[in-house]
Amino acid sequence: MQKSLTYILILLLFSCFIIKAQSIERIDPPFWWADMQNKNLQLLVYGENIGNFTPTLATKDIVLTQTQHFTNNNYLALDLDITNAKTGNFDIIFEDTANNQFHYTYTLRKATPENQVPRGISQDDFMYLIMPDRFANGNYNNDIVPQMNETTIERDNIGGRHGGDIQGVIDKLDYLQSLNVTALWLNPVVENNQPKYSYHGYAATDHYKIDARFGDLALYQQLSEELHRRHMKLVLDIIHNHIGDQHWWMKDLPDSSWVHFFDTYTNSNFRMETLLDPYATEIDKELYLNGWFDVHMPDLNQTNPFVATYLIQNNIWWIKNFQIDALRMDTWPYSEPNFLKKWAAAIRSEFPDISIFSEVWVHDISIHAFFHPHNIAAQTAHTAIDGLTDFQWYNAVIEAVNNPSTWTGGLMKLHNTLAYDYLYDDVSQNVIFLDNHDLIRLWEATGQSMYKYKIAVALLLSMRGIPCWYYGSEVLMRGTASPMDNVRTDFLGTWKNDTTDLFTSKGRNDLQNEAFFYLQKLTKLRAEYPALRKGTFKHYLPQNDVYVYARSMENQHFMMIVNTSDKMQNLHCDRFAEVLQDFSQGKDLISDKQFDFSQKTFTVAPQSAAWILLSK
């Protein structure tokens, strides 16, 4: 009899484990913290027919305020009040009408130490942008992961997987520091388990996983810790507008309202001006906001409160878990505007010092200003972000270095673009750049001209905003953005069959070394002189393809000169008296040339940029 009872008990225990395994596949977020400003936590529970179970909590410190069901019975949402929650584990008890019961243990972690809170980024930083699949291959063992949908390495296919990973990034942090990089932005590293063409990271299939071909959460934590040990910062790239069509939601949606669906496939019209156009039709606005980016990228519906909460909590989870210092939001204007305000306020409430900059890819300054959080017209309610990716500045610089000055072109285009800074209360947190993962490479854009390359670099590192550098442009990597994959080629040096190593001076040719050491020199100067980063700014109207501007701060006064012409230019001191004041001398920190301003005129070299430190 005793043996029979024991056998029955074993069967019952075994059946409970079966129920547990079948009923709970995941709970998101996978864990949380007890010390949050927002005391409400929503758990998304997923498992076969979990909607048939009633949850209760085996603790009095946490209150289950509401259980919410979905059209799909495989989901539940549990709303918890964690006001009085204590750090540690607690059990969620699930019971069905037949009294079948099982427990799920959930964890609230300890508070984050004060020295690990986000630090933000500023004009003091020099940010470096990396596409992880193409930068460095630090672990050949994760090149192919058999469980993933795409199981090939095709370096000769610009749209295929190439094998770069997080370990490769960690291995090259010394290299980045040699360029005086202080902040690292990786294109998204979350799981992109698509059948093909997802190396770029913008088609998420699981918001809580690192893509296995890049590494895992532990390796990402190692990257974060190593960066912070080196006093560098980590920028997280996030996407709220869309996901990959192989996302685990898409295989079993809670209900159809999580994604914008149409009778037939409908893509966005990509016309963000519809959001500010006083005459725009509702259908045009709807197509802009709700149309899909691509047939493989479903458009998320952030007006759905569960989607909104899921995205907000996911971002908070990454920031707090990995000590993220700044967020870069992809396709900012394509998400629902009211959601973006709620999201930004929620992030800022938890992390007051984090920096947030958002992508707004437009060609019109007025549209750019509409989406800027600090526009003086206040056309949109201010959100809690800091700045935008400054495509206006980028377009102006590429125009300035490539073309002679006209009434609106060449250097005048750059001058006038900066003149439009009156549209903003504060433009210092805009991120400025010379190329990125969507744009023609700098070396290509300058027609492979070293003097144009150098002028562009000098402008990037001496103007308002946070400068961002795209991986490999320091070694003159090439590529046009048609298709975009052409600008995402491999940084040679870490793959088994690479015949050269561009991370070393010996592996680079003379031209590549000239470009590399020029960037290195200017980033070092920028780090040494605060005036170059955040001094007051004045500029003169360009004349004869010469543009003069000044950066001043306390006892540091710089006169910056750009000459895009092929002629030596004579400049009259009287015209620049406002900047020269009583300074009689100057030294160009780039060329080491000495200037004497006690005379009536001085000369500047053709096709050059000068950073002149003024002295008496």
Exposure on the CB side of residue 488, measured as CA atoms within 13 A: 29
Q: Which of 135, 217, 218 is nearest to 176 (CA)?
A: 135
SS (H, E, C) 292-361: ECECCECEECCCCHHHHHHHHHHHHHHHHHHCCCEEEEECHHHCCHHHHHHHHHHHHHHCCCCEEEECCC
Which residue among 211, 330, 350, 435 is the active-site one?
330
Amino acid at 444: E
Number of other CB atoms surrounding residue 438 within 10 Å: 14
Please report, in angstroms and rounded to a whole number, the separation of the first and last CA atoms in the chain.
104
Residues 228 and 171 sit within 8 Å (Cβ to Cβ): no
What is the rounded distance in angstroms from the CA atom of residue 131 to the CA atom of residue 413?
30
Q: Which of 335, 341, 440 is nearest to 395 (CA)?
A: 440
Which residue among 359, 485, 490, 545 is the active-site one?
359
What is the rounded distance in angstroms from the CA atom of residue 419 to the CA atom of residue 427?
12
Element (DSSP H or E) covering residue 595: strand 594-596
Backbone torsion region of residue 247, taken as left when φ is above 0, otherwise alpha when ψ lies between -120 and 50, otherwise beta: beta
What is the rounded distance in angstroms from the CA atom of residue 373 to the CA atom of residue 357?
10
What's the longest Cα–Cα distance across the chain? 113
Q: Is 330 a catalytic residue?
A: yes
Enter the DSSP assignment of 473: G
CA distance to 11, 12, 189, per residue, from 5 (Å): 10, 10, 52
Residues 411 and 563 sit within 8 Å (Cβ to Cβ): no
Pairing type for strands 326-330 and 355-358 reads parallel
Number of other CB atoms surrounding residue 163 within 10 Å: 26
Strands lying side by side in the sheet with 546-553: 536-539, 546-553, 556-563, 608-615, 585-588, 594-596
Exposure on the CB side of residue 286, measured as CA atoms within 13 A: 7
Q: Is 226 a catalytic residue?
A: no
What is the rounded distance in angstroms from the CA atom of residue 162 to the CA atom of residue 165?
9
Alpha-carbon torsion (483, 487, 493, 494), positive or negative = negative
List the structure tokens of 550: 């000044």
Amino acid at 122: S
What is the rounded distance in angstroms from the CA atom of residue 465 to the CA atom of residue 403?
24
What is the rounded distance in angstroms from the CA atom of residue 136 to the CA atom of residue 109?
34
Backbone torsion region of residue 493, taken as left when φ is above 0, otherwise alpha when ψ lies between -120 and 50, otherwise beta: left
Long-range contacts of the stretch 149-154 (C-beta < 8 A, 24+): 149/193, 149/194, 149/195, 149/246, 150/193, 150/194, 150/195, 150/196, 150/198
Q: Which of 442, 581, 500 is nearest to 491 (CA)?
A: 500
Could you tell me how many helices (H) and strands (E) the chain has, helices first? 16, 26
Looking at the annotation, which residues are catalytic?
330, 359
